Amino acid sequence: MNVRILNSREDLNATAATVIASLLLSKPQAMLGLATGSTPIGIYRHLADMYRRGQVSFARAYSVNLDEYVGLSPEHPQSYRSFMNEHLFQHIDIPISHTRVPDGNALDLTAECVAHEQAILDHGPVDLQLLGIGHNGHIGFNEPGHSLTGATHVVDLKERTRSANARFFGDIDAVPRQAVTMGVGTILKAKQIILVAFGAEKADILKQALTGPVTTECPASLLQCHPNVLILLDQEAGGWLK
């Protein structure tokens, strides 16, 4: 794994955005694997700025998101579809028909999981997958446990994950208990992975994920098996590596 520790969050956001923009310059029809949460917001802001300055176009690109809450309609303000529209899609020129966020409100969630995998097959493979990391080592919503599922599937969210995300809902009881997520197998099929993390509260789990054993108890540790992973950290998250 290629680990880079940047001086500031701004540097980190700019570096990740530049890697994504460079890919689109060399491959305008690239498929991007996108993430939600606090971590990628600054990266998306940079990409929107680069688009406004004419430095990158998404007109031919495709995107597929990691996950979505079960039971929230796409219009729900806390759905990941709303998040993507608000933080990225409405600021750039990607055709909305080229973007896919799992539909957590689908009547047949099993069919929705199959459809998500099929969309990746149709326009993929994913050229670049952007990832954050949960405090418990999850990637996407692949929660730690005795086993992991390879393909896109429905997952029960851990209480740690629900309480971490309660800040967006105002009330823990409003946080959905399940999500649809790409599986770890889906994620590892991406040609390149960029994992981004900032802040001291991610340092311990990063230490486990990057230097500990490869184990389903820390899903991010499976990234050690991928041949093309770039880890971008700020000083607080990655200072222990020096």
Q: Which residues form the interface with ligand PGA (CB under 6 A)?
A: 37-39, 132-134
Shortest gap between Cβ of 111 and ligand PGA (angstroms)? 26
Active site residue 136: yes
Other CB atoms within 10 A of residue 241 CB: 15
Contact assessment for residue 92 and residue 58, using Cβ atoms and an 8 Å cutoff: yes
Is 67 within 8 Å of 141 (Cβ atoms)? yes
Q: Residue 164: which H helix or E strand, with range?
A: helix 159-169
CB of 193 to ligand PGA, least distance (A): 13
Shortest CB 132 distance to ligand PGA, Å: 3
Q: Identify whether 67 is a catalytic site residue.
A: yes
Strands lying side by side in the sheet with 178-181: 67-69, 178-181, 153-156
Nearest Cα neighbor of 135 from 167, 178, 113 is 167
Could you tell me how many residues make up the chain? 242
Annotated catalytic residue 138: yes
Of 30 and 206, the one with the shorter C-beta distance to ligand PGA is: 206
Give the closest residue to 104 by CA, choosing from 119, 118, 115: 115
Q: Which is nearer to ligand PGA, 105 or 136 (CB)?
A: 136
Residue 5 or 98: which CB sits closer to ligand PGA?
5
In angstroms, give the least distance from the CB of 53 to ligand PGA: 26
Do the Cβ atoms of 58 and 51 come closer than 8 Å? yes
Nearer to ligand PGA, 98 or 205 (CB): 205
Which of these is catalytic: 13, 65, 105, 136?
136
Select which of 143, 153, 165, 234 is catalytic.
Answer: 143
Q: Nearest residue to ligand PGA, using CB?
A: 37
Active site positions, annotated? 67, 136, 138, 143
